[in-house]
Amino acid sequence: MTSTAIRPFRVDVPQAQLDDLNERLRKALWPNELPVVGDAYGVTNDRIRELAQYWLTEFDWRALESKLNSYPQFTTEIEGEDIHFLHVKSSRPDAIPVILTHGWPGSVLEYLDVIEPLTEPESADAPAFHVVIPSLPGFGFSGPTRSTGWNRYRTARAWVELMNRLGYERFGAIGNDGGSFVSPEMGRIAPDQVIGVHVTQLFSFPSGDPAEMEGLSEEDLAGLAHLQWFHENKMAFNTLHSQQPQTLAFAISDSPVGLLGWNAQLFSEGLDADFVIGNVAIYWLTGTAGSSIRFYYEDAHAEHPQGPTTTPTALAMFKGDFQSIRRFAERDHKNIVSWHAYEVTATRSTGPNDAAGHYAAHEATEVLLADIREFFARLR
């Protein structure tokens, strides 16, 4: 019988596991690389060597572990799976419950920077929030999934159950990357409970109807051109995850450098090394490198519901990231009430392939916070 108990959780990785990781990093075998091709063939030796060296000699897992453990963490069983989550309550009696969902290759680390300003804003006029940040099923501290079918829709149902289990009858949903798939589906599943959906991408694409393309702005056409470039040059991960995740799992579950190389393709060079390595380390140390990528397979083989969502929806997109096209988004989401595009400046030098702003909660914290506050303030 499934238990609905909510159990306290602390991160406590055995030292022997960290020692094994260091030994594997020291003994890494490096691939041959063609000269003068840059990253045309994929992530480069130089970049992964630099990150691996940082992981081995400078990255402090225990410090990250301590930071995570400074927040209340819990696990609960939903549909036979262990679900890990942070749950930080505001002291404000008018606080709005929200659930924030990450994607791949991110983790709960995506949202650590927004916890304090959301729960305890400096201004009494700013809305406050009770914050729930779960690890997706099969990701990080939720551990590997034990059953099939954990796509965006089943995850959205689980998140509604989680919020209900925590005693929240009305709540908002916030998401990035995979979370931008899950959060709108929460509104579809529970429209009477989800007060609003705030995402950083609305993944709506041309339907194939030529009439949809008529009269698009230059900005929209440029966004489509960027999407086409990404599809032709950077979508190998999506194809492999969607078709043969288990085949890849052998490599990324056995080699931390292999995992680093694979996951780093979607971490911009402008991101700080602690953020990149912290996310990769969570996958390695929880044994979820292989189970996490099954999310793509499950989603590709899911039965997708027909018709648009109707929950009030906000988009805060960043110009280095996926560019949503409003005409297509409004076909799939009939109640978009806020639409903003922002620039973001990387903290380090960045190349033309970087999706600056993809991890907006970390890269452009204040910008994202302001957008979240503005949206939910109007829904109260």
Q: Which residues are catalytic?
A: 177, 296, 358
Is the sign of the CA dihedral 207, 208, 211, 217 positive or negative? Answer: positive
Q: Give the Cα separation of 102 and 180 in Å (integer).
A: 8
N residues, the chain: 380
How many angstroms from the chain centroid is the CA of residue 232? 23
Query: For helices 152-165 and 178-189, what crossing angle results, to 10°?
Result: 60
- Nearest of 345, 352, 291, 294 to residue 318 by alpha carbon: 345
Looking up tokens 């929240």, which residue turns up?
168
Stated as kind and residue range, the H or E segment containing 242 is helix 236-243
Q: Give the Cα separation of 311 and 171 in Å (integer).
A: 12
The most distant pair of C-alpha atoms in the chain lies apart, rounded to whole Å, by 61
Looking up tokens 């989401």, which residue turns up?
333
Q: Are the beta carbons of 128 and 94 closer than 8 angstroms? A: yes
Is the preceding peptide bond at 134 cis, omega within 30 degrees of 0? Answer: no
Q: Give the Cα separation of 289 and 281 in Å (integer).
A: 10
Q: Are the beta carbons of 264 and 280 closer than 8 angstroms? A: yes
Amino acid at 159: W
In sequence order, the β-bridge partners of residue 172 are 98, 196
Q: 73-84 b/e with 16+ CB inside 10 Å = b?
A: bbbbebeebbbb
